[in-house]
Amino acid sequence: MSELKRILLVEDNANDVDLTLAALAETRLANEVVVVRDGQEALDYLQRRGAWATRPVAHPAVVLLDLKLPRLDGTQVLAQIKGDPELRTIPIVMLTSSREERDLASSYGLGVNAYVVKPVVFADFVRALKELGLFWGVLNQPPPGSLPPSAGR
Protein backbone atom coordinates (compact mmCIF):
# COMPACT_ATOMS: atom_id res chain seq x y z
CA MET A 1 0.00 0.00 0.00
CA SER A 2 1.28 3.47 -0.81
CA GLU A 3 2.30 5.90 1.88
CA LEU A 4 -0.14 8.78 2.28
CA LYS A 5 1.19 11.94 0.73
CA ARG A 6 1.08 15.28 2.49
CA ILE A 7 -0.93 18.26 1.37
CA LEU A 8 0.80 21.64 1.66
CA LEU A 9 -1.58 24.52 2.43
CA VAL A 10 -0.09 27.96 1.84
CA GLU A 11 -2.47 30.45 3.45
CA ASP A 12 -1.88 33.54 5.61
CA ASN A 13 -5.46 34.14 6.74
CA ALA A 14 -6.09 32.26 10.00
CA ASN A 15 -9.84 32.02 9.33
CA ASP A 16 -9.25 30.56 5.87
CA VAL A 17 -6.75 28.07 7.35
CA ASP A 18 -9.34 26.99 9.93
CA LEU A 19 -12.08 26.69 7.30
CA THR A 20 -9.83 24.72 4.95
CA LEU A 21 -8.70 22.34 7.69
CA ALA A 22 -12.31 21.88 8.85
CA ALA A 23 -13.45 21.22 5.29
CA LEU A 24 -10.65 18.69 4.72
CA ALA A 25 -11.44 17.03 8.06
CA GLU A 26 -15.05 16.60 6.98
CA THR A 27 -13.83 14.72 3.91
CA ARG A 28 -12.18 12.13 6.20
CA LEU A 29 -8.98 12.18 4.19
CA ALA A 30 -6.11 10.71 6.17
CA ASN A 31 -3.47 12.83 4.43
CA GLU A 32 -1.44 15.07 6.73
CA VAL A 33 -1.93 18.78 5.98
CA VAL A 34 1.09 21.00 6.53
CA VAL A 35 0.27 24.70 6.87
CA VAL A 36 2.67 27.51 6.05
CA ARG A 37 1.72 31.17 6.33
CA ASP A 38 3.63 32.96 3.57
CA GLY A 39 5.25 32.45 0.19
CA GLN A 40 8.82 32.35 1.47
CA GLU A 41 7.95 29.70 4.05
CA ALA A 42 6.31 27.64 1.29
CA LEU A 43 9.54 27.68 -0.72
CA ASP A 44 11.58 26.90 2.40
CA TYR A 45 9.33 23.89 3.03
CA LEU A 46 9.57 22.63 -0.55
CA GLN A 47 13.33 23.17 -0.75
CA ARG A 48 13.92 21.77 2.77
CA ARG A 49 15.57 24.92 4.12
CA GLY A 50 15.65 26.60 7.52
CA ALA A 51 13.01 25.28 9.92
CA TRP A 52 12.02 22.70 7.28
CA ALA A 53 15.51 21.28 6.62
CA THR A 54 14.71 18.00 8.37
CA ARG A 55 11.22 17.44 6.97
CA PRO A 56 10.60 14.14 5.13
CA VAL A 57 12.13 14.07 1.65
CA ALA A 58 8.92 13.23 -0.26
CA HIS A 59 7.21 16.15 -1.94
CA PRO A 60 3.58 16.90 -1.11
CA ALA A 61 0.82 15.35 -3.21
CA VAL A 62 -0.44 18.86 -3.93
CA VAL A 63 0.15 22.45 -2.90
CA LEU A 64 -2.99 24.48 -2.17
CA LEU A 65 -1.66 27.99 -2.79
CA ASP A 66 -3.33 31.30 -2.02
CA LEU A 67 -2.60 34.25 -4.33
CA LYS A 68 -2.37 37.07 -1.82
CA LEU A 69 0.45 36.20 0.58
CA PRO A 70 3.07 38.15 2.54
CA ARG A 71 6.77 38.14 1.58
CA LEU A 72 6.22 36.37 -1.76
CA ASP A 73 2.78 36.25 -3.36
CA GLY A 74 1.25 33.15 -4.89
CA THR A 75 2.32 33.93 -8.45
CA GLN A 76 5.93 34.45 -7.34
CA VAL A 77 5.86 31.14 -5.47
CA LEU A 78 4.27 29.41 -8.46
CA ALA A 79 6.89 30.81 -10.84
CA GLN A 80 9.74 29.59 -8.61
CA ILE A 81 8.23 26.13 -8.17
CA LYS A 82 7.56 25.63 -11.88
CA GLY A 83 11.03 26.99 -12.71
CA ASP A 84 12.78 24.48 -10.44
CA PRO A 85 13.49 21.09 -12.06
CA GLU A 86 13.21 19.36 -8.66
CA LEU A 87 9.81 20.90 -7.86
CA ARG A 88 8.03 21.62 -11.13
CA THR A 89 6.10 18.34 -11.24
CA ILE A 90 4.39 19.03 -7.90
CA PRO A 91 0.73 19.78 -8.63
CA ILE A 92 -0.23 23.31 -7.65
CA VAL A 93 -3.85 24.34 -7.08
CA MET A 94 -4.44 28.06 -6.74
CA LEU A 95 -7.07 28.23 -3.97
CA THR A 96 -8.08 31.86 -3.85
CA SER A 97 -10.92 34.31 -3.52
CA SER A 98 -9.79 36.18 -6.64
CA ARG A 99 -12.02 36.01 -9.67
CA GLU A 100 -9.81 38.49 -11.54
CA GLU A 101 -9.20 37.38 -15.12
CA ARG A 102 -5.59 38.61 -14.95
CA ASP A 103 -4.92 36.39 -11.89
CA LEU A 104 -6.45 33.39 -13.66
CA ALA A 105 -4.49 34.03 -16.87
CA SER A 106 -1.25 34.70 -15.00
CA SER A 107 -1.60 31.54 -12.92
CA TYR A 108 -2.21 29.31 -15.93
CA GLY A 109 0.55 31.07 -17.83
CA LEU A 110 2.96 30.11 -15.04
CA GLY A 111 1.85 26.48 -15.10
CA VAL A 112 -0.73 26.12 -12.33
CA ASN A 113 -2.54 22.77 -12.48
CA ALA A 114 -5.90 24.11 -11.31
CA TYR A 115 -7.45 27.40 -10.27
CA VAL A 116 -10.25 27.19 -7.71
CA VAL A 117 -12.18 30.19 -6.41
CA LYS A 118 -13.06 29.63 -2.75
CA PRO A 119 -16.82 29.20 -2.46
CA VAL A 120 -18.47 31.58 0.01
CA VAL A 121 -20.99 29.08 1.38
CA PHE A 122 -19.31 26.63 3.77
CA ALA A 123 -21.15 23.57 2.40
CA ASP A 124 -19.92 24.44 -1.10
CA PHE A 125 -16.41 25.02 0.27
CA VAL A 126 -16.45 21.58 1.94
CA ARG A 127 -17.63 19.97 -1.30
CA ALA A 128 -14.88 21.71 -3.30
CA LEU A 129 -12.19 20.70 -0.80
CA LYS A 130 -13.48 17.14 -0.67
CA GLU A 131 -13.13 16.86 -4.44
CA LEU A 132 -9.71 18.53 -4.43
CA GLY A 133 -8.45 16.37 -1.57
CA LEU A 134 -9.74 13.15 -3.05
CA PHE A 135 -8.37 13.84 -6.50
CA TRP A 136 -4.95 15.27 -5.62
CA GLY A 137 -4.37 13.40 -2.35
CA VAL A 138 -5.62 9.96 -3.34
CA LEU A 139 -6.53 9.45 -7.00
CA ASN A 140 -3.89 11.42 -8.89
CA GLN A 141 -0.74 9.47 -9.70
CA PRO A 142 2.43 11.57 -9.49
CA PRO A 143 4.94 11.40 -12.33
CA PRO A 144 7.78 8.86 -12.06
CA GLY A 145 10.62 10.09 -9.88
CA SER A 146 8.52 12.58 -7.91
CA LEU A 147 8.75 10.44 -4.77
CA PRO A 148 11.98 9.08 -3.32
CA PRO A 149 12.43 5.27 -3.57
CA SER A 150 11.83 4.90 0.20
CA ALA A 151 8.37 6.49 -0.03
CA GLY A 152 6.78 3.11 -0.73
CA ARG A 153 4.98 3.67 -4.03
CATH code for position 15: 3.40.50.2300
pLDDT in tens, 91-132: 999 999 889 999 999 999 999 999 999 888 888 888 887 788
Work out the pLDDT band at 146, boundaries 50, 70, 90.
low
Answer yes or no: is 67 within a domain. yes
- The answer, yes or no, to whether residue 64 has pLDDT greater than 80, is yes
Task: Note whether residue 30 is domain-resident.
Answer: yes
pLDDT value at 22 more than 70: yes
In a domain, 145, yes or no: no
Domain tally for the chain? 1
What is the extent of the structural domain holding 49?
Answer: 7-138
Would you say residue 59 lies in a domain?
A: yes
Q: Is residue 128 part of a domain?
A: yes
> pTM of this prediction?
0.86
Q: What percent of the chain has pLDDT over 90?
A: 56
pLDDT of residue 82: 97
Q: Is residue 150 part of a domain?
A: no
- List 92's β-bridge partners, or say none: 63
Instruction: Check pLDDT > 80 for residue 145.
Output: no
Q: What is the pLDDT of residue 49?
A: 96
